[in-house]
Structure 1
Amino acid sequence: MKHLVLTLISFLSISTALFSQKEPEPEVIKIWDEAPHNAFPDLIRFSDTFYVALREGNKHMPDKSGRIRIIRSVDGEKWETVGLLEKHGMDVREARLSITPEGKIMVLTAVGIYDEGYQKLYPMVAFSNEKGDSFTSLKNVVISRKPGLDWVWCLTWHKGIGYGVVYSTRDGKREAHLLSTVDGVQYDVVSELTVGGNPNEATLRFDHDDRLYAVIRREAGDMMGVIASSESPYTKWTYTKLPVRLGGPNFLFYGEDQMLIGTRQYGSLGTKTVVHLSDKEGNIEKTVELPSGGDTSYPGMLFHQNKLWIAYYSSHEEKTSIYLAKISEKSFK
């Protein structure tokens, strides 16, 4: 009997220890739902303040009412509007945020006219003042190549130069090229990404060795995402296919050899917004799912106080709204 009691105590102690080591759930709050459809957010931190850019519209698409709202918060809970970017009769969508070498917030977006497909599509930019409390009106981006239906989806600054991927449609064919800029307005073509499969949304990051990585969405063929990488001067690329499809991809490096890839997850039970822990070769080691469903994804991501902060949108509570999640770094260890 004594042996049985000791065994039971030991079992309970182990069970308690295992339970106490359970990974913490993401902390999630809704931060914006003022428009009929609130979506496609991005998140940065500027002057000790969080900034989120989001698109407000009547629906996902097509929509001539789409506009970009920029909100900010000191604590991530109380938010105020500091910018509103719109073009009459056109859809302004999917703003991506970055901080220029001059210390201003840059808003990179796409403005288009949609009628059974895009008839016109322009990359456009706006900039904040030094305080980050007001923004210029939108102005056209100029790319040193023949214009088409062009979309520069995001921009990453590295050593005073901004890099982004423009995906374009010409004669029914989808192309993707790496661009560079020093001012966020004038862009030069650096190289072509011959990834195939109708590449489009791409997020860029540089590792500690100045190697450039791109996580790319593909919408044809097997539609699996791709990790592309290149060494300076970024004219020759290697490609590694991911085992998952992507939607609105973003990523951050985690340690020396891992990535946290935020994306839409496609599954038999519907769509979710998730964060994959992957190595640089695309081997997914772990997946953390956020409260989400339906029309969802486009996570803006940053690290702050040992947590991964994520702004994303979702329709799991019926109305398509913007959410802010905080995930402990312990969840990925």
Structure 2
Amino acid sequence: MKLISTQSIWQNNQHNAFTDLVEYQGRYFCCFRQATNHVSKDGIVRILVSDDLENWQLISTESYHLADLRDPKLTIHPSGKLLLTYYRKRFTPAGQCIANENCVSFSTTAISWSQPKVLGENNWWLWRYRFYQNTGLAIAYNRSQNTVHLYQGDPLASFHKVKDPLFSLSSHGKGYPNESDILFTEDGTAICILRRDADSFSAQLGIAKLGYQNWQWYDLAEYVGGPAMLRLSNGKIIVAGRRWIANRLKKQLTTWIFELDLDNKKLIPLLELESAGDNSYPAMIEKQGKLYVSYYSQHSNRKCAIYLASIDL
């Protein structure tokens, strides 16, 4: 694995962050949040499109009055529609938060989107939706509860909590589980990477057979923020996210690519991307022997910009 190039595909005098990347109908789409800061009340969703993974242009913008739209994700629904999901924090004109909602819209063009549908419970953040055949899974977390729940179904129809808790401080002895990604094997087995931000800060590997009620959990001994997973055409599973390396002088948080060794239940660090400051929240696609990774970083600009890394596999 070798880095070929890193290009900025969106930058301005705003905080641009929290990416996702998908190939849909022969084109490539990258979404992200644009706002004043990492945490502010004015987040909107930008969606870029490219025909060649080199030249990008803005195709649509989603916003909501008196709301912050956070951590957008793009997912292809089994029906062929493109789903846009995000966490909507709504405020009064005086700035008081009145709702924290999970929203989903769909489109077939990525230009215009359906009215957002609210899913799940208020204050429980459904992170990333993944599908096996016609069934979707997503994991919800709450910052104050030290637990995550598993949701299953169809976000455009019926989507319900099916396991409470999935992982928690009280049941597993490890605190603050939160962001996640799920990948499915050919037989429907779910593989999950779960971020944690307490005690050892180590991410967890979860594995469950079809039905998704009985999970086995393994400690990965690595901090992985904003995890993203991808199975390559050669069968290997790679993980991208924010890695925390502590040394004598400072704590370094940068964006890394790992290989997931399922046999030994561990992560193997492969490549550090150009990144510094506020950074990471990557997404990945494989195309013609190359890996493309979207992410954000401050390594060449005081304000966060959106980058696309091209990697030779």
TM-score by length of 1: 0.84
Q: Which residue of 1 aligns with 2:66?
A: 89
Q: How many residues are paired up?
A: 299
For residues 185-196 of structure 1, what are the structure 2 equivalents within 5 Å? 186-191=158-163, 192-196=165-169
Once the two structures are superposed, what CA deviation does each residue of 1:230-268 show, in whole Å capped at 9, x if it has no partner? Answer: 011100100011111111111112467742110101123
Work out which of the residue numbers 171, 175, 191 in structure 2 matches 1:213: 191
Tell me the residue number matched to 2:258: 276
Note the C-alpha offset of 1:286.
3.5
Do residues 242 (structure 1) and 220 (structure 2) align? yes
Partner of 2:310: 326
Unaligned runs of 5+ in 2: 170-174
- The structure where helix makes up a greater share of residues is 1
* Equivalent residues of 1:113, 1:119 under 8 A apart: yes
Pair 1:126-2:105 in alignment: yes
Q: Could you say if the C-alpha distance between residues 194 and 284 of structure 1 is closer, same or farther in structure 2, counting changes exceeding 3 Å?
A: closer
8 Å contact kept, 1:243–1:282: no
Change (3 A) 1:237 1:50: same
Once the two structures are superposed, what CA deviation does each residue of 1:255-291 show, in whole Å capped at 9, x if it has no partner?
6774211010112352110101121243233420111
Specify the alignment match of 1:14 in structure 2. Answer: none
- Spell out the pairing of 1:166-185 with structure 2 (5 A cutoff): 166-169=140-143, 172-184=144-156
1:117–1:24: structure 2 CA closer, same or farther, 3 Å change rule?
farther
Distance in 2 of aligned mates of 1:220 and 1:79: 38
Distance 1:174 1:194 in 2: 9
Distance 1:202 1:184, change over 3 A: farther
Distance (Å, rounded) in 1 between the aligned partners of 2:218 and 2:20: 26
Mapping for residues 43-192 of structure 1, pairs under 5 Å: 43-61=21-39, 63-113=40-90, 120-128=99-107, 130-141=108-119, 143=120, 147-169=121-143, 172-184=144-156, 186-191=158-163, 192=165
Report the Cα offset of residue 65 of structure 1. Answer: 0.9
Q: Deviations over 1:164-184 (max 9, x none)?
A: 111135xx4232111112243
Aligned to 2:279: 296
SS in 2 for 1:133: coil
Distance 1:127 1:34 in 2: 27
SS in 1 for 2:167: coil
Q: Which whole-Å CA distance do the structure 1 matches of 2:113 and 2:12 have between them?
A: 21
Q: Contact between 2:71 and 2:87, CA under 8 Å: does it hold in 1?
A: yes
User: Mean alpha-carbon deviation: is it higher for 221-230 or for 74-83?
Assistant: 74-83
Distance 1:320 1:156, change over 3 A: same
Shift of 1:86: 1.3
SS at match of 2:226: coil
Deviation digits for residues 193-217 of structure 1, max 9, x if unmatched?
A: 1243111101011012211011011
What displacement does 1:58 show?
0.5
Q: Percent identity?
A: 27
C-alpha distance in structure 2 between counterparts of 1:256 and 1:26, whole Å: 20
**Are the equivalent residues in 2 in contact too, given 1:83–1:135 (CA < 8 A)?**
no
State the alpha-carbon separation in 2 of the partners of residues 248 and 234 from structure 1.
22
Once the 2 structures are TM-superposed, how far is the Cα of residue 150 of structure 1 from its aligned partner? 1.2
Query: 1:30 — aligned with what?
Result: 8
Taking the aligned partners of 2:34 and 2:236, their CA distance within structure 1 comes to: 34
55 and 48 in structure 1: CA distance in 2 versus 1, 3 angstrom threshold: same
- Counterpart amino acid of residue 310 in structure 1: V
Question: Which gives a bigger RCO, structure 1 or 2 (Cα 8 Å, sep 6+)?
Answer: 2
Gap change, CA 1:37 and 1:300, over 3 Å in 2:
same
Q: Which secondary structure state, in structure 1, belongs to the residue aligned with residue 203 of structure 2?
A: strand
Maintained 8 Å contact 1:26/1:290: no
Deviation at 1:308, TM superposition (A): 1.1
RMSD: 2.2
Aligned-pair distance for 1:132? 3.5
Q: Distance in 2 between matches of 1:26 and 1:185?
A: 42
